[in-house]
């Protein structure tokens, strides 16, 4: 096991220098393949070091080229902000804090799969919420959303969760998924996680954990 661990670490260190391949940003008004219009969209492609480490333990003899091919992932992050024009009836005492909503989507694109996690959260400067109801509004979180697919691999959701900070000022929507495939003729798997941290001020951060 120590030998495998050393091999894994050597590959991780080698890829740490060249893992990032490209990053692009798109202006407001982007329309994606589904016809949805987003305010912002960013895209980056990199070799996932966690995937490299997982596969190296299962295939210690795999070439760097093989591992790079399996573990290269493009991440596309999209978002759109909307103001909620109509406040819920009976809530006028809270109307001083306007309610906004923000839709988001994280796409993970591997060599033969496309995995989508998406959601919508509301915020008013004090609270941020997605799957719970607050001030008359309920957001959403969906894992392996429509448009997800896999060819020659099986992508299965291992976890789809929503959690809140103790103050309620932030919400985290997370998806953990497993990719099962054959690499160099051997059955292997690797696990990814992606999450969206959303805050009461409307800011969001997409993360790989």
Mapped onto helix, strand or coil, the DSSP state of residue 56 is helix
Report the C-alpha gap between 86 and 92 in whole angstroms.
11
Residue 132 class from Cβ within 10 Å (0-12 exposed, 13-18 middle, 19+ buried)? Answer: middle
pLDDT in the model for residue 201: 96
- How confident is the model at residue 37, as a pLDDT? 85
Residues of the chain falling short of pLDDT 50: 1-28, 94
Q: Is residue 169 within 8 Å of residue 198, measured between CB atoms?
A: no
Q: 0.85 cut: is pTM over it?
A: no
- For 63-115, how does the pLDDT look when each residue is reduced to its tens digit (9 = 90+)? 999 999 999 999 999 999 988 866 656 555 545 689 999 999 999 999 899 99
Strands in 84-168 per DSSP E:
100-109, 113-123, 128-129, 133-134, 137-138, 140-142, 149-150, 154-164
Within a 10 A sphere around the Cβ of 174, how many other Cβ atoms?
Answer: 19
Cα–Cα nearest to 173, from 181, 162, 165 = 162
Is residue 87 left, alpha or beta, with left meaning phi > 0 and alpha meaning psi from -120 to 50?
A: beta
191 three-state secondary structure: strand
Distance from C-alpha of 122 to C-alpha of 43, rounded to nearest angstrom: 24
The full set of domain ranges for the chain reads: 2-207
The pLDDT, as a whole number, for residue 89 is 60
Q: 1: how many CB neighbours lie within 10 A of its CB?
A: 6
Q: Which two tokens stand for residue 117?
A: 């996690």
pLDDT computed for residue 20 by the predictor: 42
pLDDT for position 92 = 54
> What is the biggest distance separating any 2 CA atoms in the chain, rounded to whole angstroms?
66
């Amino acid at each position: 096991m120590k030998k495998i661990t050393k091999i894994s670490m050597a590959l991780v260190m080698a890829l740490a220098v060249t893992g990032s391949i490209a990053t692009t940003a798109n202006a407001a008004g982007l329309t994606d393949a589904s016809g949805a219009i987003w305010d912002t969209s960013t895209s980056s492609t990199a070799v996932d070091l966690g995937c490299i480490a997982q596969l190296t333990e299962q295939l210690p003899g795999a070439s760097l080229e093989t591992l790079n091919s399996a573990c290269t992932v493009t991440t596309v992050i999209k978002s759109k902000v909307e103001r909620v024009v109509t406040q819920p009836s009976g809530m006028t005492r809270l109307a001083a804090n306007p309610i906004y909503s923000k839709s988001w989507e994280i796409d993970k694109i591997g060599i033969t799969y496309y995995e989508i996690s998406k959601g919508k959260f509301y915020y008013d400067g004090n609270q941020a919420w997605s799957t719970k109801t607050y001030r008359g509004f309920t957001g959403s979180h969906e894992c392996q959303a429509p448009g997800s697919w896999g060819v020659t691999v099986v992508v299965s959701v291992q976890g789809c969760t929503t959690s809140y900070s103790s103050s309620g000022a932030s919400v985290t929507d997370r998806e953990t998924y497993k990719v099962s495939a054959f690499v160099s003729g051997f059955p292997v798997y690797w696990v990814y996680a992606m999450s969206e941290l959303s805050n009461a001020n409307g800011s969001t951060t997409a993360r790989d954990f």
